[in-house]
Structure 1
Amino acid sequence: MTLFEPIKVGTCQLQHRVVHAPLTRLRNTEDNIPTDLVAEYYSQRATEGGLLIAEATAVSSKTGGYPRIPGVFTKEQQEGWSKVIQGVHGKGGYIFSQLWHGGRAGSSLFLENNLAPFAPSPIAIRGDNQFTNTRYEVPREATQDDIKDFIQQYITAAKNAIDAGFDGVEIHAANGYLIHQFISSSSNKRTDIYGGSIKNRARFVLELTEAVVNAIGAERTAIRFSPWGGSHLDVDDDTPYETYSHILKKLDPKLAYVHFVEPRDDFLRIPDLENSLDPFRKVWKDNPFITAGGYTTRPETISAVSQETGNLVAIGRAFTSNPDLVYRLKNDLPLSKHQRDYFYTTDAIGYTDYQPYDKNANP
C-alpha cells in the first residue's frame, strides 16, 4: 500500500506518506512565540518517520500579519519552536517550518508606524479582513529595494528555523499571500522586471527560492503552491498551467519536495471539478510531490491518490481532530469530526483535547 511505504524527502527518511498540513491555529503569544500548548499539539500528532509541516510562520516583524501567529525572527521565538521540535523528534518524527509573508493580506494595525502592508501592486483585496473586521487596505507597491529586503527576510528566517532545529523549511507561495500575489496576474500589474509576463511574475519566487537554497541547502528547502487556491484573498491567474509549469521547470530539482493544493480543495470555496494537478506531477515526476486539499471531507480518496500517483498526502482538518490520524488511516478506523468554531481560539479546547481512538468507546 503506497500510503504506508517509505520515501526519502530531503534529509528525512519517512516511513509513510501521511503529512500534517500547515494549519494556522493562533495558539501562540502576542509576541508570536509558540507556547507549551503548541508543543503539545505537534507532539500528539508526531509519528515515527512521519512529516509535519508547521503553521504559517512570519519571516520578520515587517510582515504585518495576523495576531498570535508564530514568528521565527527573535531568539524567544526560536526557543519556543525548539520545544516543539524536541517533542516531534522525541517521537521519531520530522518537522518543516512554513515561512510566510502575508503581503496585502496583512494589516497596518500590526505594522510599525501603522504603515500599509506591501504588495506587488497597489490593489486592495475586495471584502473585509476577518481579523480586523475592516475593509482590506490599499497596499504599498513594493520597490525593487523592498523586494531585495523580502528575500533577505526569508534567508534570515530560513537560517533561524534550521538553527532552532527544524528539518527544513517550506516557502509559502500559495493561498493568496505575498509570493502568490507576485505570481498571479490578477494581483500583479507591475510593468518592471517583476510583472507582466509569466517569466517576470515568476522572477520573485525563483530568486527567493534560489537564495534560500544557497543559505540552507536544496535538501532542506521546499515550496507550496496553490494555482487555484487564492480566490478567497482575490488572487487568481489567467494561465495557471503555463505559469506553474514554468516555475517548476526553473526550480532546483534537488528541493526536498513541492507541495500543491488540489483544485478540488473545498475549504472556503466551491470545489473545482475541471482542473487537475496531473500536469505538474508530470513536470516534477522524479521528485517528492505533496498533494493537499479536500481530503478531510473525502478520506476515502487519500489511499487512492497515493496509490495512483505515489504522492505524499497532506491532511489538515482531520489531523486537527485526530491526533492518531496515521493509526486510524492504516487500520481503516472512523475519524472524529473537527470543530471549526475552535480553530482560531486561544486555549486547548478543539486543539489538544481530541482523544485517540478508543476501541472500547468505539467497538
Structure 2
Amino acid sequence: MVSLFDPIALGDIQAPNRVLMAPLTRGRATREHVPTGIMIDYYRQRASAGLIISEATGISRQGLGWPYAPGLWSDEQVAAWRPVTAAVHEAGGRIVAQLWHMGRQVHSSVTGEQPVSSSATRTECHMHTYEGRQPSETARPLRLDEIPGILDDYERATRNALAAGFDGVQIHAANGYLIDQFLRDNANFRDDRYGGSIENRTRLLREVTERVISVAGAGRTSVRLSPNGDSQGVDDSNPEPLFTYAAKLLSDLGIGFLELREPGPDGTFGKTDVPKLSPAIRKVFARPLVVNSDYDTAQAAQAVIDSGVADAVAFGRTFLANPDLPERLKTGAPLNTSDMATWYSQGEAGYTDYPALSAETVAA
C-alpha cells in the first residue's frame, strides 16, 4: 500500500513524500513585485514538503494584479528569487514556480491598463488593489495578434524561473484566471480558433504548455486546473468532456504532474455542489495526479491515495501555520491554526512566526 509519506517521482523531480505545499498567495513582495528577505525564511521553513509549489507569480506587468505579489519578468525579480530557492535547496527541499496571468481578475489601478481576457466580460468579484477591494472592470478580448506575445511572456517567465533556481514550473490554468477564462464557456464567447469547440477553447492551454515545455522540459512542467464548479465567476455548462479532453491533452504532452483544485460544499474558497471530476480525469491522465482543496488531515489525504484517484495531495491553508506539516501529519501532532487577518498582510506576523514542533518542545 502506498503511503502519504512514501517518495514519488513527479516527472523529473524526485519528491521525498507526497505532502505537497499548494500555491498560497501571501503578498509579501514589494510594490514593484520583487521578492523580499522574509520570503527566504518562509519558504525555507516549509522545505520538508515533498514539493513546494510557489505562490502564484506574475509572468508580466499586464497579468499581475495582486498587490505585493511577486513576479518573474525582470532581472531584479530573478535576482531576488535566487536566495529563496537556494534556501529551500540548502534545507533539502524542492520548489517550482507557479506562473500566473490573472486575465480579467485584475484592476487597472494596479496594472496601469484595462484587464484582458478571452472575451469582453467582467466578474462580480471585487478586485484586490492597493486601496482595498474595488469593483471589477470589463475586460477587453485579446486580439489574435496579441496571443503570441502572451506565449512569449510564459516563455520568458519560464527561463527566468530556471535562472532563479526553481526546479521547474507550474502553469496556473485554474481558479478563473486567464487560461481558465479561455477554457470555460461562460467566459469565452470567441468565434475564432480560440473559441467555440473544446479543441479551440483548450488551444491556449496547449500552446502555453508546449512553449513552457520547450524551455523547461516536460518533466519539469506541471499544470493546475480547477474543473468542478464556479471559480471567481468562471464556469462551464458541461465540464466533464472539457476537462477530460484537457487532461488527456496534457498527459499526451508528457507533463510531470497535474494538480486539481476541487472544492466541495464546505470549501474555504469556491464552495460548490458540483461533483469532483478527478475520478474521470484519473482515467485519461496517465501521469502523477495531485489533488487539492481543504485536505487538513493525514487520514483524508491517505484515503484519496488509497482510492487510486490521486498519487499525492497538495495542502494549502494547513501549511500556513504549520511549517513542518509533513512531520505533524506523520506523528499525529496537533496543528497550529492560522490567523486569517495576516494571510495577505505585510510583515513577519502570521508568516514566519509559526513554531515548528522542535520549537514548541523547547518552549514546553
Moved more, 240-249 or 96-105: 240-249
Cα distance change on mapping 1:107 and 1:127 into 2, 3 Å: same
| Residue identity matched to 1:123 | T
Question: SS at the partner of 1:268?
Answer: coil
Identity %: 39
Shift of 1:167: 0.5
Shift of 1:273: 6.5
Q: Structure 1 CA distance, aligned partners of 2:73 and 2:276? A: 38
What is the deviation of 1:300?
3.3
**Deviation of the 1:128 alpha carbon:** 2.2
Which residue of 2 is the match for residue 83 of structure 1?
83
Aligned equivalents of 2:244 and 2:271: distance in 1?
24
Change (3 A) 1:50 1:2: same
Structure 2 counterpart SS, 1:32: coil
Does the Cα contact within 8 Å between 1:57 and 1:71 map onto a contact in 2? yes
CA contact (8 A) 2:99 2:170 kept: yes
Q: Quick check: 309-318 or 219-228, which moved more?
A: 309-318
Which residue of structure 2 aligns with residue 119 of structure 1?
Answer: 117
CA contact (8 A) 2:221 2:256 kept: yes
Partner of 2:154: 154
Alignment length (residue pairs): 357
Letter in 1 for 2:127: N
2:47 counterpart residue number: 46
Q: Which moved more, 1:269-278 or 1:73-82?
A: 269-278
Q: Following superposition of structure 1 onto structure 2, how do residues 43-192 of structure 1 map, counting pairs within 5 Å?
A: 43-47=44-48, 50-111=50-111, 114-131=112-129, 132-192=132-192
Gaps of 5+ in 1: none
CA contact (8 A) 1:64 1:108 kept: no
Q: In angstroms, what is the RMSD of aligned CA positions?
A: 1.8
| Matched residue, 1:303 | 302
Q: 1:355 to 1:316 in 2, by over 3 A?
A: same
In structure 2, relative to structure 1, the CA distance for the partners of 1:28 and 1:42 (3 Å cut) is same
Distance across 2 between alignment mates of 1:272 and 1:21: 22
Q: Who is 1:239 aligned against?
A: 238
Is the partner of 1:176 in helix, strand or coil? coil
Deviation at 1:53, TM superposition (A): 0.3
Structure 2 gaps of 5+ residues are: none
The alpha-carbon deviation at position 64 of structure 1 amounts to 4.4
* Letter in structure 1 aligned against 2:302: S
* 3-state DSSP of counterpart to 2:156: helix
Query: CA 1:197–1:98 in structure 2 vs 1: closer, same or farther (change >3 Å)?
Result: same
Does the 8 Å contact 1:295/1:301 carry over to 2? Answer: yes
**Amino acid corresponding to residue 3 of structure 1 in structure 2:** L
CA contact (8 A) 1:3 1:17 kept: yes
Equivalents in 1 of 2:146, 2:247: separation in Å?
25
CA positional deviation for 1:253: 4.4
TM-score by length of 2: 0.93
Could you tell me how far 1:260 is from its partner in structure 2?
0.5
SS in 1 for 2:291: strand
Question: What is the match of residue 194 of structure 1?
Answer: 194
Instruction: For 2:273, give the aligned amino acid.
Output: D
| 3-state SS of paired residue (2:169) | strand
- 2:211 is paired with a residue whose SS is helix
Give deviations 1:71-121, integer Å, cap 9, x for gaps.
Answer: 01111111111111001100111100000001000111123xx32110111
- Secondary structure of residue in 2 paired with 1:191: coil
1:177-206: CA deviation from partner (whole Å, max 9, x where unpaired): 000000011111111111111111111111
Equivalent residues of 1:78, 1:160 under 8 A apart: yes
Query: How far did residue 299 of structure 1 move?
Result: 5.2
3-state secondary structure, aligned to 1:103: coil
Cα distance change, pair 143–273 in 1 and its aligned pair in 2 (3 A):
closer
Partner of 1:269: 270
CA distance in 1, matches of 2:290, 2:315: 10
What's the CA shift string for 1:260-304, capped at 9, x where partnerless?
A: 0124270223353733411111211x31111100113x5530222
Q: Render the CA deviation track for 1:296-351: whole Å, top value 9, x for unaligned.
A: 3x553022222332521000111010011010011111111111111010011111
Contact 1:40 1:352 in 2 (8 A): yes
User: Where does residue 29 of structure 1 map in the other structure?
Assistant: 30
Q: Which deviates more, 274-283 or 18-27?
A: 274-283
Paired residue type of 2:235:
D
Cα offset for 1:254? 2.1
Q: Deviations over 1:131-184 (max 9, x none)?
A: 343210011110011111111100110011011111000000000100000001
Aligned with 1:43: secondary structure? helix
